[in-house]
Amino acid sequence: MKSLHLYIKILYSFQLKLSYLAVICLLGFTSHCYAQENNMNVQKSNQSNDLTKQDQIKNLANELYLDNSRAGTANYGDLSDSVIVSIELPPLSVLFENMGKNPTYKQAYIKYQQDLIAVGQEKRDPLDWISPYANYNYGMNSGLTTNSASTAVSLVTNTNNEVKTYYNVGIGFSTTFGELFNYFSNVKSAQLQASYSKAQMEQAELEIKQKIIQLYLTIQAQEEELKVDMELVNIYASAFKIAEGEFANGEQEARSLAEIKMEHSRAISTYQGVKVNFISNLMFLELITHTKIR
């Protein structure tokens, strides 16, 4: 009987150990699945980040150029890297000539032309003080006359008909003392307004030219930087392939391979950042000058 109770206790403790072991295995399997899911999410996020870097240029092009045909601009989102770094800028003289199509400059130019017209109108104000007039009449003039020598003689009546023409031509002058004495001051005021508008037009022209020069020099510098960064990316890509082959043959350590890969990724990130700035500056230059660069 005692041996039976002992056997039951042993069997019960063995069942408890099995249940504990099952719980531990279930927890381990759950944590392993959760770790795999996290790794997959990290890989997906990394891939999405890489895609975001690759598509950043296209998104920027779509945001800045909703209507490329109206501004006469090019879409740089689909260009290859070799084409982008080989873009040649037109001379500054051509960009300055096309600057007249810029809306800011056109507004200032139109305001200046309107003020010049106002100056001419003020100078012609005395013409309003002079009023010409003319009068012309044509018709037949009839006259009736009577004659009598004495009261005993009957009256003699004569009728005269003749054609007459009458005309009158002249000019009149009419003004007030206010208009007369304010004439020169009004002309001077209109001339000053025209001079102010001309200064605003020249200031707008100067500011636009400064922006064009800054973008022009920045684009040239970024183009050279892109060429250097592209060569650096190609060098690290070749170095990584060589190191990968050496690592497969056991001639390279994992740390060295990881460092080369890290430098390669860093070079790609730098190149993509400069590329985005380069393309955005090209677009801004085309918008300001209304000139197709590619």
Given pLDDT bands bounded at 50, 70 and 90, which one contains residue 161?
low
Given pLDDT bands bounded at 50, 70 and 90, which one contains residue 1?
very low
- Most confident listed range (75-84, 120-129, 175-184, 211-220): 211-220
User: Does a structural domain hold residue 5?
Assistant: no
List, for residues 71-115, the tens digit of each pLDDT value.
Answer: 444 556 666 777 777 888 889 888 998 888 888 999 999 999 999
User: Does a structural domain hold residue 11?
Assistant: no
List, for residues 192-240, the tens digit of each pLDDT value.
Answer: 999 999 999 999 999 999 999 999 999 999 999 988 888 888 888 888 8
Amino acid at 22: A
Count up the domains in the chain and report the number.
1
Given pLDDT bands bounded at 50, 70 and 90, which one contains residue 190?
very high
User: Does a structural domain hold residue 13?
Assistant: no
**What distance in Å separates the CA atoms of residue 283 and residue 275, rounded to the nearest whole number?**
12
How large a percentage of the chain has pLDDT more than 90?
21
Q: Is the confidence at residue 152, as pLDDT, over 70?
A: no
Residue 20: exposed, middle, or buried by beta-carbon count in 10 A (0-12, 13-18, 19+)?
Answer: exposed
Global model pTM greater than 0.85: no
Q: Is the confidence at residue 175, as pLDDT, over 60?
A: yes
Q: Check residue 29 and give its pLDDT.
A: 43
For residues 172-199, give the mean pLDDT: 90
- Most confident listed range (40-49, 96-105, 113-122): 113-122
User: Does a structural domain hold residue 68?
Assistant: yes
Q: Is the confidence at residue 276, as pLDDT, over 60?
A: yes
User: Does a structural domain hold residue 241?
Assistant: yes
How large a percentage of the chain has pLDDT more than 70?
65
**Angle formed by the axes of helices 183-248 and 103-123, nearest 10°:** 170
Q: Is the confidence at residue 184, as pLDDT, over 60?
A: yes
For residues 155-179, give the mean pLDDT: 76
Q: How far apart are the first and last CA of the chain?
A: 101
User: Does a structural domain hold residue 139?
Assistant: no
Which CATH number does the domain housing residue 186 bear? 1.20.1600.10
Domain assignment of residue 226, given as a range: 53-126+182-289
User: Does a structural domain hold residue 83?
Assistant: yes
Given pLDDT bands bounded at 50, 70 and 90, which one contains residue 254?
confident
Q: Check residue 109 and give its pLDDT.
A: 93
Given pLDDT bands bounded at 50, 70 and 90, which one contains residue 264?
confident
Q: Check residue 18 and give its pLDDT.
A: 45
| Three-state helix/strand/coil letters over the chain | CHHHHHHHHHHHHHHHHHHHHHHHHHHHHHHHHHHHHHHHHHHHHHHHHHHHHHHHHHHHHHHHCCCHHHHCCCCCCCCCHHHHCCCCCCCHHHHHHHHHHCHHHHHHHHHHHHHHHHHHHHHCHHHHHEEEEEEEEEEEEEEEEEECCCCCCCCEEEEEEEEEEEEEEEEEECCCHHHHHCHHHHHHHHHHHHHHHHHHHHHHHHHHHHHHHHHHHHHHHHHHHHHHHHHHHHHHHHHHHHHHHHHHCCCCCHHHHHHHHHHHHHHHHHHHHHHHHHHHHHHHHHHHHCCCCC
